[in-house]
A and B are shown apart, each in its own frame.
Chain A
Amino acid sequence: MSTTASYTADGAAPPAVEADELTHNFGATRALDGTTFAVERGEIFGLLGPNGAGKTTAIRILLTLLEPNGGKARVAGLDVTRHPIGVRRRVGWVPQDRTVDPLMTARENLTFAAGLYHLGTAAGRDRAAELLRLVDLDDDADRLARALSGGMRRRLELAMGLVHVPDVLFLDEPTLGLDITSRRRLWTYVREIQRTGTTILLTTHYLDEADALCDRVAIIHQGRIQAVDTPAELKRAFGRATVHARLPEPAPELAKRLGRHPHVHHIRVAGDVIELDTDATVPATGALVDECRAAGAAPLDLWTQRASLDDVFLTLTGQELHTDVESDSPEMT
């Protein structure tokens, strides 16, 4: 148990999830195109990408619901095509669909789920009570699910994925359609679940969710993993900070001179505001102030904006995450 964090190449403690060159086609559409990633034990790992990027296909393969056309996948150390039953016993899944039965109470939904994982009557009842406490639904345990709010149902879905104490929990768009309060509340439960030693693989197209919740994030685009790292490191490596300066009057001629500076990558002039993208804010700011002063237009105002995962996504895929999400089209060109 003490070696969970120190995975080594000799395979002493295999990752919780390994996807190795997975490919999958739906007719002529290539959903996965050599998808490769590994989720370490105990971490919250995010698959970030727009609709149609291949997130759901990857999850369905890892859940043994879909056979890959090519490549290998192991979950909790077991090959998904050779040991599907073993995988199913060790993983929990919270799909993005509404799978709670509205005609059963919260408690009945949980004991039903417990039966699907072969818990006996007493064990199922105890586990249901424990999970109702975990997601703060014990006061609403005996209300019909159809009478619960959207956020409460979502928490019930989450609890239903945990009845058998899975090694790995898959969360598919866990906060889709929830208001911000419910989302933040759900995040605290997800962190609590992580503290019990469960590995969590979640898919999301919410950048703030990936940023707030995930230890590591994989950016998936057109069925391929473009980058994997901590959100902070991704932002450092692929995102540029932006330095803004407001000048006493527009000075478009400054742009050319600033462009020669080694740390300045891109310059925009919008009226009396000049913006430059940089990988090192201090030298870039110094250069900006110096050049402005030399031109007799000392800046009135200076501010710096850090890169967001949105910028990382744009850098890596050439498209913005959210434009795609809103158009809801899987086959964006």
Chain B
Amino acid sequence: MSGTITSASGPGRLSGLGVVLWREHRAMLGRWIARLRREPLTIAALLAQPMIWLLLFGHLFAGMANTASVPGDSYVQFMTAGAVVMTIFNACLQGGVELLFDRETGLLSRMFAAPVHRISIVSSRFVYLVALTSAQSAIILFAAYLIGVRYATGLAGIAACLAIGAAFGAGVTSLSMVLAFSLRSHSQFFPITGFVGLPLTFVSSALVPVDLMPSWMRVLAGLNPMTHAIDGVRSLVLHGWRLDVLAATAGALLLFDLCCLALAAWVLRRKLP
């Protein structure tokens, strides 16, 4: 009986698997989009938060920045890269919590009792967050354009910025998943992400050039993957296609992603039935 089933599914197996994975992703993504649509406050926050960083803090720090040497025509132009990467960082760092909520309600167990591929539950979350943060990034870049920021590499450079953001976001999302599957409840999740979020942002090149930092902090900033993502995006915004900078960014983010994905794979393998 089982023999006939295997042989029948033999030739069409790959396309069959493709259809199955597509249906699983469509179901999961459809759910998150349906949920997002019904949370207008969340949508407003997703749009407002990066604008606040860029417009409010951009102008707040601009005065101080006049006394120091900040690359670029204006502080806002300098900070645009920081605002994009910070937004991606925050969204992805919180990105795993939906799965933690599903764990708490029991819906995740219901999914595990279904023949869904475990990878779809995780990868659909990646796809969702990459799409969401890319849209946010595009809006920030457009808003910055409206207030006078010009891009050295044009539209192709903006596409490259989104690719760097996605590579960085994938690693952060993996870490968020690790938290979501390791912690007991969301009351532990938010203090941890809150505790980690701001220091990592300040110990990066988001708001201040690394050259202006004390030397010990410069070392920490160099170890912070956020710095590397920002440096790549900033170079595309301010200077153009500098292949040495982009190669360094790509190398650092690849290493970061590999470490995070390996950790996530190890944790999930132990936690999932």
A30: Cβ under 8 A from any B Cβ: no
Contact with A along B98-114 (1 / 0, CB 8 A): 00000001110111111
Contact with A along B11-55 (1 / 0, CB 8 A): 000000001100110111011001100110000000000000000
Minimum CB–CB distance for B141 against chain A, Å: 30
B115: Cβ under 8 A from any A Cβ: yes
Name the residue among B30, B38, B111, B114 with the largest chain A CB count within 10 angstroms.
B114
- Chain B residues contacting A67 (CB-CB under 8 Å) are 273
- Chain A residues contacting B273 (CB-CB under 8 Å) are 64-67
Considering the complex, give the chain B residue whose CB is closest to the CB of A96: B106
Q: Is the CB of A97 within 8 A of B105?
A: yes
B116: Cβ under 8 A from any A Cβ: yes
- Chain B residues contacting A266 (CB-CB under 8 Å) are none
Given the known interface contacts A93-B110, A95-B109, A115-B24, the answer about A101 and B31 at a Cβ–Cβ threshold of 8 Å is yes
Q: Is the CB of A88 within 8 A of B106?
A: no
Question: How far is B24's CA from A97's CA once the two chains are assembled, in angstroms?
Answer: 22
B23 contacts which of A64, A93, A119, A144 (Cβ < 8 Å)?
A119
Question: How far is B110's CA from A1's CA once the two chains are assembled, in angstroms?
Answer: 30
Minimum CB–CB distance for A67 against chain B, Å: 8
Q: Is the CB of B34 within 8 A of A103?
A: yes
A258: Cβ under 8 A from any B Cβ: no
Q: Is the CB of B114 within 8 A of A117?
A: yes
A313: Cβ under 8 A from any B Cβ: no
**What is the interface of chain B mostly: helix, strand, loop, or mixed?**
helix
Minimum CB–CB distance for B98 against chain A, Å: 11
Q: Which of A66-122 contact B (CB under 8 A)?
A: 66-67, 85, 88-89, 91, 93, 95, 97-99, 101, 103-104, 108, 111-121
Q: Is the CB of B110 within 8 A of A95?
A: yes
Q: Is the CB of A116 within 8 A of B35?
A: no
B39 contacts which of A97, A101, A103, A121 (Cβ < 8 Å)?
A103
Name the residue among A85, A89, A101, A115 with the largest chain B CB count within 10 angstroms.
A115
Q: Is the CB of B115 within 8 A of A103?
A: no
Q: Is the CB of B109 within 8 A of A97?
A: yes
Question: How far is B56's CA from A208's CA once the two chains are assembled, in angstroms?
Answer: 65
A132: Cβ under 8 A from any B Cβ: no
Q: Is the CB of B115 within 8 A of A118?
A: yes
- Chain A residues contacting B106 (CB-CB under 8 Å) are 95, 97-99
- Chain A residues contacting B24 (CB-CB under 8 Å) are 115-116, 118
Q: Is the CB of B23 within 8 A of A118?
A: yes
A63: Cβ under 8 A from any B Cβ: yes
Minimum CB–CB distance for A58 against chain B, Å: 14
Question: How far is B160's CA from A120's CA once the two chains are assembled, in angstroms?
Answer: 35
- Chain B residues contacting A91 (CB-CB under 8 Å) are 113
- Chain B residues contacting A144 (CB-CB under 8 Å) are 38
Query: Residues on A close to B: CB < 8 A?
Result: 63-67, 85, 88-89, 91, 93, 95, 97-99, 101, 103-104, 108, 111-121, 144, 160
